[in-house]
Structure 1
C-alpha cells in the first residue's frame, strides 16, 4: 500500500496518497489527532507561507521548500536573488518613495514594463509604460515602483520544475495586440519543442534559488535566454494541453520519494 503524506493546503486533495487537513491560522483549532499527525509527519506538504517558516524553525521539512515560499509572488525578492546569483534577468530596478520615483526616467527609456511588486499573478498588475502619462498613472499613490526593461517578443516559455526535475515545458504565445503571453490574458499554449538551453536554465535557476515547485518564465532576447520571473502558484493549463494528469504525476513523485 502506498504511503500517505500530510498536507495543509488543498492543492493535492485529489491525490489518493495525500491527507489534506486544511489551514488553520489558530494552531489550537487543529484537533489533538491532527496535531499528532503534524508532529509525527516526516514532511508537511503545502504548508502555506504562514506555516512554512514555522516548520522550518522547528526543523520540520516541507514541500514546497521554505525558500520557495519566501519568494512566492514577491518580484522584489526574486529579482534580488537572480541578480545575486548572476542569473540572466532583464534590467530591473525598484524605486521607493517620491524622490526615487522621480528618477525612473534616468534609468529607463520608453517603452518599459512596470509591475505590481508583490501579490500579482496571471498577468495582472503588469503594465506596458510608453509615455509620461502612463508612468504618472502607474506611480500615482504608489510607494514602491517595480520597473523592468521591455523585451519585445510575442511568446515565452513556461518550464515547470517539481522536486529537482523538469516535469513540463511549453510555449505561451500572446494574442495579437497583447504584450503579455499569460493564458489568463488570451495567450495560446504551444507544445512545439522547447530549446534545451531554456530548460537547462530553468532547472539551474530553481536549484540555485532553492525552489522545488515553480513555473519559470523564460524568453529569448537577442539570441539569449533570460528569466522573466518565477511563479510558485502556476496554473495547470499546460499540463491539460499535453494530456498530463497533474495529480497522478504528483502521486507518483510522492510514492517514489522525489518530493
Structure 2
C-alpha cells in the first residue's frame, strides 16, 4: 500500500509512506495520484482531495466535517444522542440573542469560541460584564449550562474501536480539566457505560478518528465535544501505538 501523509508527526513509523507538505499538494499531484490513501490532510485540502482527486483519506471525511468546530460537533451529537448533550444554545450575535442568553441562563454559565482546542477559548461567565466582553469578540455565541464537575473523561476512538480512556482531573481551582491546562490523567474506574456510548455514537456518525470528551453530572452522562486531532498523552502513558492501529485499520479497510 502506498501512503501519503500531510502530517508526519501523527504518522511516524507507518511503512511505505511519503510526506507532502499541505501547501505543495498541487505541485506534487503525481505523488498523491499514485497513493492508495492520504493521511491527515488539513481541512482546506479535504474537498479537492476527495471530490476532485478522488482520493481516500484518513481520518475520513465524516470525521473532518462533523468535527470541524464546536457548532458542527454539537449539531451532530444532537442528531443521534440529544439526551447526552448539556443544554446548549448556538446563536448569532445580535441584541435579541444577547438578551435571550441573559434572561434564560443563570450565572455562572459557559461560553466557548467555536474553533479552539486544548481548553483554550472556554470561559466561565459569572456576570453580565464578562458575557458582554465575550460577545464583542465572537460573532457566534456558543453558550452551555455550567456543570459542577472536577473531571472529564477522554475516550480515544481510532479506526473502529476504542484504544483507551482516561479521566482528566482538575486538582486546581480552575474549572477546566484539559491536560494542556494542567489536568491530571487517571486510568482508574472508567465507567463501561461511557465506553459503550462512545462506540455507539462514533459508529452512528461514521467517525473513525476522534477523542470524545464526556462528563458525569446530576447523575447523567453528557458529551462536551469530540476532537479529531486529539492529544496523545494518555495513549503514550499506556504505551499504545496509535500509528500501528491506524496502519492496521487502513490496510484492512482500504477500498
Normalized against structure 2, the TM-score is what?
A: 0.90
Change (3 A) 1:225 1:251: same
Q: Do the aligned residues in 2 keep the contact of 1:13 with 1:20 (CA within 8 Å)?
A: no
Alignment partner of 1:173 out of 158, 169, 172: 169
* Pair 1:19-2:56 in alignment: no
Q: How does 1:160-199 map to 2 (within 5 A)?
A: 160-199=156-195
Distance 2:194 2:246 in 1: 23
Q: How does 1:1-259 map to 2 (within 5 A)?
A: 3-25=1-23, 27-30=25-28, 35-58=29-52, 59-87=54-82, 88-99=84-95, 100-118=97-115, 120-257=116-253
* Higher mean C-alpha displacement, 199-208 vs 157-166: 199-208
Q: Do the aligned residues in 1 keep the contact of 2:212 with 2:225 (CA within 8 Å)?
A: yes
Change (3 A) 1:168 1:116: same
Change (3 A) 1:61 1:16: closer
Q: Secondary structure at the match of 1:172?
A: strand
RMSD (CA atoms):
2.1
Q: Do the aligned residues in 1 keep the contact of 2:92 with 2:139 (CA within 8 Å)?
A: yes
1:86 CA drift (Å): 3.1
Change (3 A) 1:16 1:77: closer
* Higher mean C-alpha displacement, 219-228 vs 16-25: 16-25
Q: Deviations over 1:189-209 (max 9, x none)?
A: 001031111011111121222
Q: Secondary structure at the match of 1:152?
A: coil
1:19 CA drift (Å): 1.4
Number of aligned residue pairs: 252
Q: Deviations over 1:87-146 (max 9, x none)?
A: 41111111212222232123311111000012x110000011111122122112432111
1:162 CA drift (Å): 0.6
Normalized against structure 1, the TM-score is what?
A: 0.89
Q: Do the aligned residues in 2 keep the contact of 1:191 with 1:242 (CA within 8 Å)?
A: no
Q: Deviations over 1:145-192 (max 9, x none)?
A: 110111111011100111111111111101221211100111000010
Q: Which has the higher helix share?
A: 2
Distance 1:230 1:103 in 2: 27
Q: Secondary structure at the match of 1:226?
A: strand
Distance 2:179 2:108 in 1: 23
1:42 CA drift (Å): 2.7
